[in-house]
Amino acid sequence: MSEPLDAAVNSPVLRLASASPRRRELLASIGVAVEIAPVDIDETPHPGEAARDYVARLARAKAVAGAEAETGSGSRRGTGRDLPVLGSDTSVVRDGEILGKPVDAEDAFVMLRSLSGRWHQVMTSVAVSGPAGVLEATVVSDVLMRELQDDEIRAYWRTGEPADKAGGYAIQGLASIFVERVEGSYSAVVGLPLYQTASLLRRQGVPVWNGALL
Which positions are catalytic? 89
Q: Which amino acid is at 171?
A: I
The crossing angle, in degrees rounded to 10, of helices 194-203 and 21-29 is: 70
Q: Are 192 and 183 in contact (CB under 8 A)?
A: no
Q: Are 122 and 115 in contact (CB under 8 A)?
A: no
- The Cα–Cα gap between 49 and 66 comes to 24
Question: DSSP states of 95-160 as a string?
Answer: TTEEE---SSHHHHHHHHHHHTTSEEEEEEEEEEEETTEEEEEEEEEEEEEPP--HHHHHHHHHTS
